[in-house]
Copies of this chain bind each other. A is one copy, B any other.
């Protein structure tokens, strides 16, 4: 399924570079391999899952009148871009307060923008209503096996270039990317462990250890600068996969993520968003000392930032 996804999206998305940085190796005492999804089309990995899902729908002979999604931004841009490149109409539901640059990008891909109250329930209900009223197909940001398979191609590509990675550090939100990469590692190199990195307040380790969804309902967004990973709860499809495959979760503060973004900008000359800063922050944290001397993949998941409010300037 992952290899099919890779073949399906090949040529339409970038095979993003894997970069290294000797200074960051010295600081972290690890051999770091940065998978630069910030350089991906639309500025984040999300196009992989979106394109794989839409192309699968078309391959199955369906002809949807409208593609609908709800997203804090990156998935919205990705679905808008994928719809546009497949000549499908698209409506994106985004929470009020989404950064200007993300809204402009979605509209730049010819999609319609609909604002909703900034809660998980608000965006879900608005998207479902529009989809029903206008005979649309709803593309969920993470709870969809085609989305998961699309995101898994990140892991596939990274392990093709660095087959003997010991660990991969992945920022986690709803769990689409993390479950995809964990599945890719499981099939390609089961020695390679995937470590999830989360903002404060998610409490993922407790839930994974108990193999139970201990989160309070209705779902809430976390209070974090990392807009890309503010969803607290994993999906219904992603949670069981991650209970199986993820042993360890690292929690980082907003300040640590912001410092991570700054050091990546200073040393690697790359613009990465706070969720990506979380991954390098984890690599720098004492909790990851057990990886010292090892080969560690770092997923720089996206680079969509408001350039007038950079993470290290607002924390």
Contacts and interface: CB of A to CB of B under 8 A. Distances in A.
Interface of A: 17, 19, 23, 38-39, 43, 101, 108, 262, 265-266, 268-272, 303, 305, 307-308, 310, 312-313
A74 to B, nearest CB: 13
Contacts of A307: 262, 265-266, 310, 312
A51 to B, nearest CB: 16
Nearest to A269: B303
Contact of A270 (B108, B262, B269, B310): B269
A267 to B, nearest CB: 8
A270 B43 CA distance: 11
A164 B253 CA distance: 49
A11 B26 CA distance: 21
A67 B312 CA distance: 37
Given A39-B269, A266-B307, 5 more contacts: A262-B307, A266-B305, A269-B272, A307-B310, A307-B312
6 contacts: A19-B39, A23-B108, A43-B269, A266-B271, A266-B305, A269-B270
Count the copies.
2
Contacts of A271: 265-266, 269-271
A46 to B, nearest CB: 14
A39 B39 CA distance: 13
Contacts of A17: 17
Contacts of A268: 39
A135 B38 CA distance: 48
Contacts of A312: 307-308
Top 3 nearest A-B pairs (CB, nearest first) are A269-B303, A269-B271, A38-B269
Contacts of A23: 108
A191 B17 CA distance: 32
A262 B310 CA distance: 12
Q: Which of A101, A108, A265, A305 has the most CB of B within 10 A?
A: A265
Nearest to A39: B269
A312 B313 CA distance: 14
A104 B270 CA distance: 19
Contacts of A262: 307
A272 B269 CA distance: 7
